[in-house]
Structure 1
Amino acid sequence: IMTGGAIGSLFAQRFKLSAAERKTLLVAGAAAGMTGIFGTPLAAILLAVEVLLFEWKPRSFVPVVLAVLIALGVRPFLLGAGPL
């Protein structure tokens, strides 16, 4: 989860995005990391939005959902479909 968040934050810093966009990408990376490891997309989205973002705005909700869906799609190829 921390690695996913760090990757999101580094991406935002690299492209010189605003603080709000950096926070959104950090949370999206953390949610994607949680989905990738635990295979729990709904829990990752809810945790990210309720605990980390504190808002239900589309500008922050959509990137989190996209990151989670991508992580869910890539997970079977990297780790297999079963539990860790």
Structure 2
Amino acid sequence: MMKLQMRYFAQLREQLEVDSEALIMEQPIAVTGLIEQLRERGGIWAEVLAPEERICVAVNQEMVPMTHQLRADAEVALFRPVTGG
């Protein structure tokens, strides 16, 4: 088992109505698998984390691709891409 500390930022935090949570995963998992598991919660989780939605991921404060393999005790941050103007 491995523990992950999840953090949700900006629009995702507002939509999901949560800013952080601890998750226990039964086995090693990639970011894509983690997002799929969160999506399986249904409701707003399925809507906000739908495959067509753009989500950025940082692990331990470094941007990572969706294929990144997560390790125990990682801090995983999810947020939408930011555009300047």
Using the size of structure 2 for normalisation, the TM-score is: 0.35
Which structure has more relative contact order (CA 8 Å, sep 6+)? It is 2
Greater strand fraction, Structure 1 or Structure 2: 2
Using the size of structure 1 for normalisation, the TM-score is: 0.35
